Amino acid sequence: MPAPSPATPAAPDPRRPLDRAPVVALAGNPNAGKTSLFNALTGQNQHVGNYPGVTVDKIVGRLAFEGRDIELVDLPGTYSLSAYSIEEVVTRDFVLRDRPDVVVDVIDSTNLERNLYLLLQLQELGVPVVGALNMSDEAERKGIHVDDKQLSKLLGIPLVRTVASRGTGKDALLRAVLDVADGRANSLARHLNYGEELEDKHEEVMRALETDAQFARSFSLHWVAIKLLERDPDARGKVEGSHANAAQVLEVADKASEWIKRHFGKDADVVVGEQRYAYIRGALREAVRVEPRTGRKDATELVDAVVLNRFLGVPIFLLVMLAIYALTFQLGNPLSDLVQRGFGMLGGLLGGVLPDGVLKAFLVDGIIGGVGGVLGFFPIALLLFLGLSFLEDVGYMARAAFVMDNFLHLFGLHGRSFIPLMVSTGCAVPGVMSARTLTNPRDRTLTILISPLMMCGAKTPVVAMLCAAFFPRYAALMFWGLWLFGWGTAFVTGMVFRKTLFRGEDSPFVMELPPYRLPTPRGVFTHMWHKAASYVRKAGTFILAASIVIWAALSFPRVTAYSTDYDAEARAIEAVTSARLAGAELPQDRRAAIERERARSLADLENRKRTEDAAASFAGRAGRFVEPVMRHAGFDWKVNVALFSGVAAKEVIISTLGIVYGLGGEEPDEADIAEAPLTSRIRADRAYSPASALALMVFVMIYIPCIATLAVARKELGSMKWPAFMAGYTLVLAWVLAVAIFQIGRLLS
């Protein structure tokens, strides 16, 4: 049995109190409340999520407390400090290299055993630690009573109770942190005793390590020695890289671990882990009282019994998403119409006051048409983000990952792939980044390759617009179908890649299931805003720029000779109209009908002229150039131009269509065509049919990932090879499927 007794207290640093801003790092298990605490302390709005593994980078903030500046670093969540995952390496290297003055270990009080496992390892690193007993509200509710004084004494560190989501306890915590930073309180670098045999071997390795004084100054030898016994590859690397007698040290260490293995009959890291847990259990028995459970299941367990059911789990997930989309469209469509009409009117007003010419065309068609086209679908995107954020914050998304795990295995995909894929349904850029949580490079590359196939926030407006235009009664169902189609193509493509490019075993994983929590409205809205803000920012910058370029490419060179004299045709329409109106006394409704016909003929004429203009432009020529290939999918040159532009960012497809169709052109009084300008104009174009619209949606879902995704994939995978492959395979797959859909649709109709 390990003696739960401390050893080797570190002497307080004589240089204190600190004369600079102390650096304080927040460490802890995923979902322990680190980010909530970070936000409560700094007043920032960092993403608080229930996905383990979304935040793999550290986030830095500053705060002032009692006249002192403090620098705060939010580290990614980890269960341990071995070097198996990117989060563990980020956390560990930060503590080792940057040497924060204090590490605050955010402890989930409802799960002390697992959380203290990390705490012990932080202590082993030799940094001063302060524990935040977070989730203390929930622990009390569950009948877990922690004697924090007693536990603090046992562990040798200050402990403060907190409720991070409400900011409770933050002042006490900061005071404890400053006390430690300034040397007023001790946070002893207390090491648990691993038992006689292990301590002996540890001692041997320590002695070998001490032979290099330089090395001893840059690393905690105690920690390196344990890690060497555990055969930790990262620690071995550190020794090989910077210890003067690396070969000797490693020899001693290897002998020691072999001895331990023979003596205990298991690997040294297992023995060390068991000792840690034994110590924790001992400490908890002394400092924690758990009310006996009344046999009644709590709400989380009851809900999970249904939601995580082997047969119901996946259908429930699909239905939940269908409900989210149905709500989104039900509420979002009228709002989106309103915004679109607003931009249409703005364009009409500007068109009325500005003189004809390039400037007017640029402002009305280029800018209002382009940016307005994208922002018109903003309400739908916003509601969608709201729904997804809610599901995430409630804790449902983690369940979805859990139930999809088996499903993913059917396709030979790793269970953890679900998270990057689900994140990609918001945006593939963070999706590709969160594939870092897959430690096996094969699984990781594979996941990155299929992530862009998901329905993302940028494809949302395009697909939503086409659904609204061609399948108005079933828009939500269609949209959901395409969302599902994204998953389907990702799975099937993944399976094909797995069987061809990435053969091999897959590794198991454990999905954390946080308890359900009713999120605060503020939390959900912040979270939603995180996703939405980038959408608006993109519309204001990138899409604005792309709209200008596309408008120019669609406007120049100008037509030198039109196929017909449009001015003469317009005069003819006016003449015919006045002749008809000048006849005998006409009833009021008849007059109105003639006026409407005139307006419609003129708009039609305007459209023909505009189309002729666009067809002659650079972009139009490029669009026509690929027509022989794209025609098989039912796409004319206008669609091709939009698809070209969509490689920049998928939303731009809408702005390009907006420009081609002259979104801002109507007179405000033409009520019958002014409704939802782009949607109705596209519907009215005879070049489209439901089959070509469906083919277009499928094409947009699959073809070439946007530039941002390709760039981040290049960064993550370190070469141009995979992004190039991604662009190539998605283009071919998109074309084949779009052609199949269009041709089958044509046969059926």
Residues that bind ligand GDP (CB under 6 A): 28, 30-36, 48-50, 77, 134-135, 137-138, 163-165, 393, 517, 519, 523
Cα–Cα distance measured from residue 381 to residue 389, given in angstroms and rounded to the nearest whole number? 12
For residue 65, give the 3-state DSSP assignment.
Answer: strand
Choice between 58 and 714, CB closer to ligand GDP: 58
- C-beta nearest to ligand GDP: residue: 33
> How many other CB atoms are there within 10 angstroms of residue 79's CB atom?
20
Q: Tell me the closest approach of the beta carbon of residue 347 to ligand GDP, in angstroms.
A: 43
631: burial class by Cβ within 10 Å (0-12, 13-18, 19+)?
middle
Helix (H) or strand (E) holding 670: none
> How many other CB atoms are there within 10 angstroms of residue 148's CB atom?
18
Choice between 99 and 517, CB closer to ligand GDP: 517
Partner interacting with residue 430 (select from Mg ion, ligand GDP, none; CB below 5-8 Å by kind): none
Asked if 39 touches Mg ion (CB under 5 A), the answer is: no
Interacting residues with Mg ion between 42 and 71 (CB under 5 A): 55
Choice between 29 and 692, CB closer to Mg ion: 29
Choice between 77 and 376, CB closer to ligand GDP: 77
Nearest to 458 by CA among 709, 689, 680: 709
Residues 174/164, Cβ–Cβ less than 8 Å: no
Choice between 461 and 519, CB closer to ligand GDP: 519
Choice between 517 and 714, CB closer to ligand GDP: 517
Q: Tell me the closest approach of the beta carbon of residue 261 to ligand GDP, in angstroms.
A: 35
Locate 517 and state its tokens: 């929590």
Residues 6 or more apart from 288 whose CB is under 8 A from it? 112, 144, 145, 146, 147, 151
Nearest to 93 by CA among 119, 131, 125: 125
Choice between 77 and 373, CB closer to ligand GDP: 77
The residue within the footprint of Mg ion, chosen from 29, 35, 42, 555 (CB under 5 A), is 35
DSSP 8-state secondary structure symbol assigned to residue 417: G
Choice between 525 and 618, CB closer to ligand GDP: 525
Cα–Cα distance measured from residue 418 to residue 313, given in angstroms and rounded to the nearest whole number? 15
Locate 496 and state its tokens: 């094909």
Give the β-pairing of 59-65 and 288-290: unpaired
Q: Tell me the closest approach of the beta carbon of residue 459 to ligand GDP, in angstroms.
A: 28
Q: Tell me the closest approach of the beta carbon of residue 520 to ligand GDP, in angstroms.
A: 7
In this structure, the chain runs to a length of: 749
Q: Tell me the closest approach of the beta carbon of residue 55 to Mg ion, in angstroms.
A: 5
Q: Tell me the closest approach of the beta carbon of residue 524 to ligand GDP, in angstroms.
A: 10
Cα–Cα distance measured from residue 413 to residue 506, given in angstroms and rounded to the nearest whole number? 8
Partner interacting with residue 115 (select from ligand GDP, Mg ion, none; CB below 5-8 Å by kind): none
Size of the site for Mg ion (CB under 5 A): 2
Q: Tell me the closest approach of the beta carbon of residue 539 to ligand GDP, in angstroms.
A: 28
Nearest to 348 by CA among 667, 694, 91: 667
- Angle subtended at Cα 384 by Cα 381 and Cα 385, rounded to the nearest 5 degrees: 85
HSE at residue 315, side-chain half, CA atoms within 13 A, is 5
Q: Tell me the closest approach of the beta carbon of residue 300 to ligand GDP, in angstroms.
A: 12
For residue 74, give the 3-state DSSP assignment.
Answer: strand
Q: Tell me the closest approach of the beta carbon of residue 141 to ligand GDP, in angstroms.
A: 8
Choice between 190 and 416, CB closer to ligand GDP: 416
Give the bridge partners for 743, in sequence order.
none
Task: Point out which residues bind Mg ion (CB under 5 A).
Answer: 35, 55
